[in-house]
Amino acid sequence: MKILVCISHVPDTTSKINFTEGDTKFDTNGVQFVINPNDEFGLTRAMWFKEKQGASVDVVNVGGPETEPTLRKALAIGADAAIRVNTEAVDGATVAKQLAKVVTDGGYDLVIAGRESIDYNGGMVPGMLAAMTGANFVTNCISLEIDGTNAKAVREIDGGKETVSTSLPLVIGGQKGLVEESDLRIPNMRGIMMARKKPLTIVEPVDANVETKSTGFEKPAPKGAVKLVDAENIDELVNLLHNEAKVI
């Protein structure tokens, strides 16, 4: 089984979000970039398929050279090879088009992406990629088993979960649950050394129309101060929620 894990290079969750150039660009100054958390769960599940079922695992990112340390980290965690499509990730659709080419050229059976990236939260790349390559698709995936070309997956739905059966080729939108938090791997020294020798191939992008374009950003309006209610006077909270906030 050939597995491709899509790796989004995103600001660490503690990052302060600021913008430059007249609020048109994300300010990367002082920001640390990491593997998108949803992708990291997927990568870890892929390592399980590699170790237990003999799968090969490649990782891919669509982005500039600045994303290579994130790909090297994925190699250090245990992926066999990395691919970087050398173009800016403008929107979900352009990323999906680039990935579709990589998937078709590489003949991957299983693609594991994250349910969404934590920077733009589009939640569209895996589904678009599946539709473009004609693969089956399960998102919000919290469990995945592969047996030959058959797959069993669990999808989180609003208020519960559903178990589905499907088959390869398959694209997954993964998240926590695919593996547990405690299963995530921190690269060790040996992994980091080996990652330096693993192939990182740079491929040039295919032409893709830009369908959506962010022209500006803004931060939420600053919030007013909290209204404190005395712990001995809870009637006051009920009163405020009813008469002032009007939420009960």
Partner 1 sequence: MSVIVYTESEKGKFKKVAFEVVSYAKAIADKMGTSVTAIAVNAENPESLGNYGASKVLAVNDDSLNVFNAKKYASAIEQATKQENANVVVLSSSADSKYLAPILAVGLEAGYVSNVVEVPSNTAPFTVKRTAFTNKAFAHTEINTEVKLIGLSNNSFGLVESGGSASVETFTPNIPDSGVTVESVDKATDKVSIADAEVVVSGGRGLKGPENWALIEDLAEVLNAATACSKPVSDLGWRPHSEHVGQTGKPVASNLYIAIGISGAIQHLAGINSSKVKVVINTDPEAPFFKAADYGIVGDAFEVVPVLTEKLKAFKAQNA
Nearer to partner 1, 189 or 228 (CB): 228
Cα dist from 143 to 3, 161, 226, whole Å:
16, 10, 41
Q: How far is the CB of 77 from ligand FAD (least distance, A)?
A: 15
Using rule CB under 6 A, residue 182 touches ligand FAD: no
Tell me the site size for partner 1, rule CB under 8 A.
Answer: 82
Which two structure tokens, joined as six digits, stand for 197? 């020798």
| The binder of partner 1 chosen from 147, 158, 204, 207 (CB under 8 A) | 158
Using rule CB under 8 A, residue 17 touches partner 1: yes
Residues between 32 and 91 that touch partner 1 (CB under 8 A): 37-38, 91
Among ligand FAD, partner 1, none, the one that 188 touches (CB under a kind-dependent 5 to 8 A) is none
Using rule CB under 8 A, residue 184 touches partner 1: no
84: buried, middle or exposed (CB in 10 Å: 19+, 13-18, 0-12)? buried
Q: How far is the CB of 207 from ligand FAD (least distance, A)?
A: 36
Q: How far is the CB of 170 from ligand FAD (least distance, A)?
A: 27
Instruction: Return the amino acid letter for 71.
Output: L
Tell me the site size for ligand FAD, rule CB under 6 A.
Answer: 2
Which two structure tokens, joined as six digits, stand for 30? 């002082």
Do residues 96 and 103 make contact, with C-beta atoms less than 8 angstroms apart?
Answer: no
Instruction: Give dist(CA 112, CA 174) in Å, integer.
Output: 7
Using rule CB under 6 A, residue 233 touches ligand FAD: no
Using rule CB under 6 A, residue 37 touches ligand FAD: yes
Which are the contacts of 208, defined by CB distance < 8 A and separation ≥ 6? 93, 94, 97, 98
Positive or negative torsion for Cα 21, 23, 25, 29: positive
Which two structure tokens, joined as six digits, stand for 161? 């979960």
Nearer to ligand FAD, 158 or 244 (CB): 158
Using rule CB under 6 A, residue 114 touches ligand FAD: no
Binding site for ligand FAD (CB under 6 A): 13, 37
